[in-house]
Structure formats: structure tokens, C-alpha cells
């Protein structure tokens, strides 16, 4: 039998004496008591027995439930404001769709309570054990969860806006689709946590270890990521606009499809760098590797056609540059890996899908060559004809095979400051010392195409790290010998050409010109590098500190005009 209590409770004096309720409840034995859509204000229910009672859609304001018996009580769809549940027994209570604001839960026993779609707002829960509850979709906005153990819990779709999770154990915790905007999370353990499609906008994550976490499609707008470890972090299709990234570790991060219209790379987050669509991804993404699997071992003919495959893929994708990384035997077949050096104007996800789709067609063509003996014979004859026609001449050109080649190099420019003020009597002696000091340093770091003219030096390197390492050593050596110098480094395509005047190999290209521009922007004793050099040097090493600033070009280069502002970086080696 069900008893509807609304008429009895309309008398405001009913709960003034606690024995009224207990006497009434006992008189109705085991009958089901239902209380619907009632309002209770400033009432003291302390120590009362509300076990098995149904409070459906009720509103409680400033009420006391201290030490109350709320076992199996149904508070579904009810609201509580500034209520005190200290020491209450809420075992197996149904709190589905209930809302609690600014309530006290000290020492509450919530064992096996039902919290489906429950909202707990601005409450202190740091001493409450939440391990046994289903927290999917729960609302805990503004709650104090400091040092909570939420290890392995599933908080998917939970609302945790401005929640305090400092020092909490969040190991393997699932926050997929959760809203953690403006939450406090410093000092929390995040190993193995998942944040797919989570909202972390405005969160301070500085100095934290986010390595290898899943942050796919996460919103990280305005996040503080300074000194954050993002090594191997999965950030595909996430949004990091307005984030601070000073000294963040980004080696191996996955940023395919990432959104970022501006970011801050300086220590104080005052100098913003703006990016066009897909530009951030193209500059800072790890090189995309396209894997082509063959269900058969490659013969010499198929290997010979790989350059044709690469040329075809580049022709189909304007502005894309590919190179062969490796050809490996795998179980039952072969694996060909191609590296995307330049992505053109493509988003990496779109480019990867398009390249694989087109490569499938070429693989079918290679397979057709294997099965067509007549075509195979003609192909071999054509290759043999090319060999007979060109090989002798290629051997003759072996000594100068690098001429007219386009390579990606780091170009380093050095210029001595105050050279024109030297006395004629010391110029020859000082230049001889200058070159003598440089030679062993250049040899140690395997500099290529060194060219010394007067008080300047130009050299190239295969990697950004090597170029910066060499520049730092040159600065240390020359400044110890009381030479004042300036150094500029850029990375890009460089053409190796024949200099008709010197009859030796020479270099041309925008990277050569930009390195010279950067050198002129340096103050005495400074090493100035471009954004590309900074990015690749940071991927290869953590030994350097890059200090950002902006500078105007005094002379145009490529698409940049005289007077345009560019981002440049002053380099220092980290102190051990």
C-alpha cells in the first residue's frame, strides 16, 4: 500500500518535534511512503529515520540531516541547498538526477548509493570515498576533490568545471567527453589517463607529465603547457589555440588535424604567434610515414619502380615531397616506408589517406608487371638500355655528382663584429687565428661546404642539432680568444651549384639568404635561429634554451617583404 504524505506535511508544525515523524511512520508499518514536490526550509531532520521513504522532486533548503537514517531513501529528482548530511547513513540511497549545492558530506556513508546523473556542486568531497560509485555523467562542478583516489574510474561525460583535483590519483582514469574547464589539476597523477574529446580549456598543466596520454579531439584552448612533457602525446584533432608552449617537450607528439590559430612560445606568454589553417601542424608535426604493405616479396623489378611510384605520388599531390625511408621483409611479404618531407597545403590526415589510396593503384601496376612476362622482358631491356647509355657518363661525373642538386641543409653564417676597425698590422694575424680556431670545430661537427671570405664564414650541416651544437662551440672558442661575433642559422632547401669564378662548389637558396639575414639581426655574441631550426633542434635534443623575439626584415626574401615581422630565437645552451 502506498501512502502519500503531502497532506500531513502541509502542517508546518509536523517536524518541530522529531517524535511526531517517528510515531507517524511507526503507525503505518511497512507501507510505502511517498512525498512529492514538497519544499522544506530550515528544518532539522537530524537522527530521524527516513529509510525507504520516497522524496520525489522535493526541495530542501538549509535543512539538517545529521546522523539521519537515509538507508534506501529515494531522493530522485530532488534538490538540496546548503544542507548538512554529516554522519548520515545514505547506504543504497537513490540519488538519481538529484542536485546538491554547497552541502556538507562529512563522514557520510554512501556505500552502494545510486548516483546516476547526480549533480554535486561546490561541495567538499575530499574525504569521501568515491571508488564504489558509477560516476559516468556525474556533475561535480566546483567540488573539492583534492587527493581523491579516482584511479581507474570512468568519468566519461562528467561535468567537472572548476573542480579541485590537486594531488589526486587519476592513474588510468577515463575522462572521455568530460568537461574539466578551469579545473585545478596540479600535482595529480595522470599516468594512463584518457581525455578523448574532453574540455580542458584554461587548465594549468605547466610542468606536468602528459607523455603518451590520449588527448584526441580535446579542447585545450588557453591551457598553460609551459615546461609540460608532451612526448608521444596523442593530440590529433585537438584545439590548442591560445596555449602557452614555452619549453614544452614535443618529441614524437601526434598533432594530425590539430587546430591552433595562435600560440605563445615565450616564458611570460606575452608574444603571440599566429598561424594560418594547418600551418601549425605543417611546422611542428613529426614527419608523416606512409607504410605500403605488399603480400609478396619484392623483386629487383618492383624495387626499380619505387622511384616511379614516388614521382607519381608527388605529381598527384602538388607541393608534397616524398622520400624512400626503408624496404623491409616482413612475414609473408614486404613493407615499404615513405617519409613525407613536405606536406604542401594538405592536412596530414587527408594527405595520408590520399597517398595510400593512390599508392594502391601503383601497387596493382607493379603486380601486373610481375604477371605480364612480355612487359617484364621489355622493362628489363629498357633498364639495361638506360644503364648502357648513362652509366659510363655517371662514373665520369662521380667526383662532381653533387652539382645542381637540391638538398635540405642547415646553413650557418658567422660574421666578426668590429673587423673594419682593426689596424692593418693585425688584420692578417687575426684572420689567420680566426680560421685556425674554426677549422677543428668545423671538422668535429662534420660541416660541409665551408666557405670563408674575409671575416665571415658560411657552412652547412645535415641536422639542426648539429648546426646549433657547432655554433655554440664556435661562440665559446672565439669569445675565449676575444673575438666578438654574430651567428645566424636557417634550415631549408639549398642548391649545390658550380661557381664559375672560384671553379668550386657553391650554395644558393632561400636558406642561405635567410641565414645571412638572421646573422645581421644578432647582437654581439648571439646565435639567432629561425623557427624551423628551433623546432627540429628541440626534437633532436633538450640541451638548448630558445628565447623568442620578433624582428623586421631589412630586405625581402621569398614571399616575405622588407619590413615584415618574423619570429626569431636567441639560443643558449642549458646550464648543467
In this predicted model, what pLDDT tens digit does every residue of 22-55 receive, in sequence order? 777 777 667 788 888 988 999 889 999 898 899 9
State residue 501's pLDDT score: 54
d(CA 265, CA 262): 10
- Helix/strand/coil for 504: strand
User: pTM above the 0.95 mark?
Assistant: no
* φ/ψ bin of 77: left (φ > 0), alpha (ψ from -120 to 50), beta (otherwise): left
In this predicted model, what pLDDT tens digit does every residue of 142-174 receive, in sequence order? 999 999 999 999 999 999 999 999 999 999 999
In this predicted model, what pLDDT tens digit does every residue of 455-487 receive, in sequence order? 788 889 888 899 999 999 999 998 888 888 899
- One DSSP character per residue, 216-231 reads TT-B-TT-B-TT-B-T
d(CA 238, CA 2): 53
d(CA 90, CA 544): 57
In this predicted model, what pLDDT tens digit does every residue of 549-558 receive, in sequence order? 898 888 878 7
**497 with 406: CB under 8 angstroms?**
no
In this predicted model, what pLDDT tens digit does every residue of 227-274 receive, in sequence order? 999 998 999 999 999 999 999 988 888 898 899 999 998 889 988 888
Amino acid at each position: 500500500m502506498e501512502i502519500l504524505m503531502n497532506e500531513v506535511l502541509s502542517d508546518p508544525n509536523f517536524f518541530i518535534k522529531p517524535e511526531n515523524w517517528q510515531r507517524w511512520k511507526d503507525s503505518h508499518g511497512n507501507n510505502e511512503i511517498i512525498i512529492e514536490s514538497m519544499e522544506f526550509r530550515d528544518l532539522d531532520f537530524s537522527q530521524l529515520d527516513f529509510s525507504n521513504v520516497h522524496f520525489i522532486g522535493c526541495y530542501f533548503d538549509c535543512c539538517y540531516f545529521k546522523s539521519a537514517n537515509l538507508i534506501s531513501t529515494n531522493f530522485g529528482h530532488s534538490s538540496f541547498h546548503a544542507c548538512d548530511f554529516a554522519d548520515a547513513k545514505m547506504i543504497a540511497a537513490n540519488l538519481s538526477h538529484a542536485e546538491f549545492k554547497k552541502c556538507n558530506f562529512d563522514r557520510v556513508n554512501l556505500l552502494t548509493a545510486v548516483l546516476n546523473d547526480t549533480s554535486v556542486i561546490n561541495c567538499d568531497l575530499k574525504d569521501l570515498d568515491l571508488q564504489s560509485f558509477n560516476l559516468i555523467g556525474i556533475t561535480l562542478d566546483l567540488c573539492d576533490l583534492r587527493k581523491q583516489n579516482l584511479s581507474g574510474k570512468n568519468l566519461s561525460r562528467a561535468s567537472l568545471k572548476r573542480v579541485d583535483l590537486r594531488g589526486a590519483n587519476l592513474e588510468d582514469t577515463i575522462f572521455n567527453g568530460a568537461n574539466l574547464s578551469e579545473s585545478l589539476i596540479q600535482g595529480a597523477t595522470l599516468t594512463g589517463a584518457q581525455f578523448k574529446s574532453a574540455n580542458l580549456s584554461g587548465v594549468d598543466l605547466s610542468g606536468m607529465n602528459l607523455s603518451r596520454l590520449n588527448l584526441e579531439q580535446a579542447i585545450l584552448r588557453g591551457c598553460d603547457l609551459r615546461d609540460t612533457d608532451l612526448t608521444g602525446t596523442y593530440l590529433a584533432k585537438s584545439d590548442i589555440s591560445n596555449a602557452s608552449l614555452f619549453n614544452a617537450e614535443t618529441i614524437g607528439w601526434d598533432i594530425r588535424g590539430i587546430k591552433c590559430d595562435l600560440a605563445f612560445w615565450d616564458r611570460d606568454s606575452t608574444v603571440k604567434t599566429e598561424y594560418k589553417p594547418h600551418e601549425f601542424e605543417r611546422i611542428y608535426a613529426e614527419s608523416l610515414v606512409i607504410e605500403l604493405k605488399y603480400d609478396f616479396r619484392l623483386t629487383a623489378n618492383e624495387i626499380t619502380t619505387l622511384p616511379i611510384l614516388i614521382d607519381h605520388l608527388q605529381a598527384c599531390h602538388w607541393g608534397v615531397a616524398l622520400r624512400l625511408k626503408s624496404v623491409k621483409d616482413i612475414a609473408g611479404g614486404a613493407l615499404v616506408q615513405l617519409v613525407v618531407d613536405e606536406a604542401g597545403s594538405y592536412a596530414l590526415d587527408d594527405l595520408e589517406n590520399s597517398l595510400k589510396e593512390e599508392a594502391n593503384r601503383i601497387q596493382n601496376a607493379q603486380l601486373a608487371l610481375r604477371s605480364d612476362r612480355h612487359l617484364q622482358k621489355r622493362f628489363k631491356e629498357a633498364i639495361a638500355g638506360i644503364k648502357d647509355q648513362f652509366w659510363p657518363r655517371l662514373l665520369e661525373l662521380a667526383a662532381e655528382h653533387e652539382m645542381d642538386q637540391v638538398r635540405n641543409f642547415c646553413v650557418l653564417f658567422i660574421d666578426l663584429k668590429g673587423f673594419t676597425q682593426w689596424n692593418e698590422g693585425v688584420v692578417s694575424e687575426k684572420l689567420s687565428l680566426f680560421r685556425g680556431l674554426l677549422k677543428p670545430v668545423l671538422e668535429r661537427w662534420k660541416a660541409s661546404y665551408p666557405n670563408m671570405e674575409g671575416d665571415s664564414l658560411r657552412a652547412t650541416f645535415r641536422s639542426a642539432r648539429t648546426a646549433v651544437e657547432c655554433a655554440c662551440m664556435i661562440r665559446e672558442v672565439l669569445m675565449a680568444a676575444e673575438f666578438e661575433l654574430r651567428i645566424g642559422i636557417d634550415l631549408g632547401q639549398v642548391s649545390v651549384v658550380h661557381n664559375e669564378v672560384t671553379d668550386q662548389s657553391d650554395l644558393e637558396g632561400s636558406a642561405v639568404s635567410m641565414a645571412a639575414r638572421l646573422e645581421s639581426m644578432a647582437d654581439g655574441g648571439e646565435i639567432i635561429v629561425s623557427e624551423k631550426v628551433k623546432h627540429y633542434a628541440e626534437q633532436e635534443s633538450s640541451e638548448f634554451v630558445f628565447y623568442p623575439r620578433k624582428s623586421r626584415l631589412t630586405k625581402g626574401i621569398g614571399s616575405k617583404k622588407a619590413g615584415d615581422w618574423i619570429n626569431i630565437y636567441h639560443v643558449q645552451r642549458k646550464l648543467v
